[in-house]
Structure 1
Amino acid sequence: MKTRFALTLADARHVAATAEAEAAKNGWSVVIAIVDEGGHLVLLQRIDGTQPASAEIATQKARTAALFKRPSKALEDIVAGGRVAMLSLPGITAVEGGLPLVYRGDIVGAIGVSGVQSFQDGIVAKAGADSLDDGQS
């Protein structure tokens, strides 16, 4: 048996707040989705003015990162490299902006961001993901 860490709502709020601060700093309007390790939505935050479709896209990016245990950008790169068959896998959104949330070596969930260019979504997601271990839990 293994003892595992679990993402709390307080953790999700902290990650989302840090990601939102990064988006605000850059003047970007985005949706931020936080999921648990099984890809289930814990928190969804849509900054005023962000396109409605980004709510689903951010959630799917987060689910991809959680379930595949890797950044959604890694899967985007695989597809761009010619492995288009990857797109047929269930639950895959192969677009940058989803990152696993790692705490003390365990994947406890993921963050997904959508609303601006994918590389910008990735910047916002990274700010949130990097904040998980700075005093939370």
Structure 2
Amino acid sequence: MSSVSRIIPYGPPLSLDVARRIAATAEAEAKANGWPMVIAVMDSGANLVVLHKMDQAQTGSITIAQAKAESAVRFKRPTKVFEEALAAGGIHLRLLATHGASPLEGGLPLMLAGQLVGAIGVSGMQSTQDAQVAAAGAKAIADTS
């Protein structure tokens, strides 16, 4: 018997105020570690709400952070899932043909009351460090309800 995954509904889009708090919390984590990062927060429609480039963050991370956030919204899952699938190889390599699926850890869906209300994408350091900063930002959403 196959397992049925719970369908995650899209919720109302994040407000600018909430997105700013999420980005600020992520920035505080990045600063605490001395990591120059780019932080992108999107709403549930994959619309960019906040893009925050810290001083000395590499400019290439601007598009990567946005791609991570967009991937997390559109596919309703952390981008680490895609990174792990590619690392496994074999049939998972078909992921390379999936438009918009960022295979770089650091993108997380933002959940509130069981609904996906947006996503955060972080880029600038190693993927695990990007993920750490994104996770700090994602935790901030619980403080906004």
Q: TM-score range by the shorter chain?
A: over 0.9
Gaps of 5+ in 2: 1-8
**Deviates further, 78-87 or 44-53:** 78-87
Aligned to 2:141: 132
> Which whole-Å CA distance do the structure 1 matches of 2:102 and 2:10 have between them?
30
Out of 111, 126, 130, the position equivalent to 1:117 is: 126
Query: Percent of aligned pairs with the same residue?
Result: 50
Structure 2 CA distance, aligned partners of 1:10 and 1:101? 15
- 1:102 aligned partner: 111
* Cα distance per residue 1:82-125 (max 9 Å; x no partner): 11111211111110000000011100010000000010000000
1:53 to 2:85 alignment: no
Single out whichever of 65-74 and 80-89 deviates more from structure 2: 80-89
Alpha carbons of 1:3 and 1:30: their partners in 2 closer, same or farther (altered >3 Å)? closer
Please give the alpha-carbon distance, in whole angstroms, between the structure 1 residues aligned to 2:65 and 2:10. Answer: 29
> After the TM superposition, which parts of structure 1 deviate over 3 Å for at least 4 consecutive aligned residues?
2-5
Q: How far is 1:3 from its partner?
A: 9.9
Q: Does structure 2 retain, via aligned residues, the 8 Å contact 1:31–1:46?
A: yes
TM-score (norm 1): 0.94
The 8 Å contact of residues 5 and 103 in structure 1, kept in 2 or not, is answered as no
TM-score, normalised to structure 2's length? Answer: 0.89
Quote the Cα distance in structure 1 between the aligned partners of 2:121 and 2:29: 14
Q: Please say which structure displays the higher CA radius of gyration.
A: 2
Which of 37, 42, 46 lines up with 1:35 in the alignment? 42
CA RMSD, Structure 1 to Structure 2 (Å): 1.4
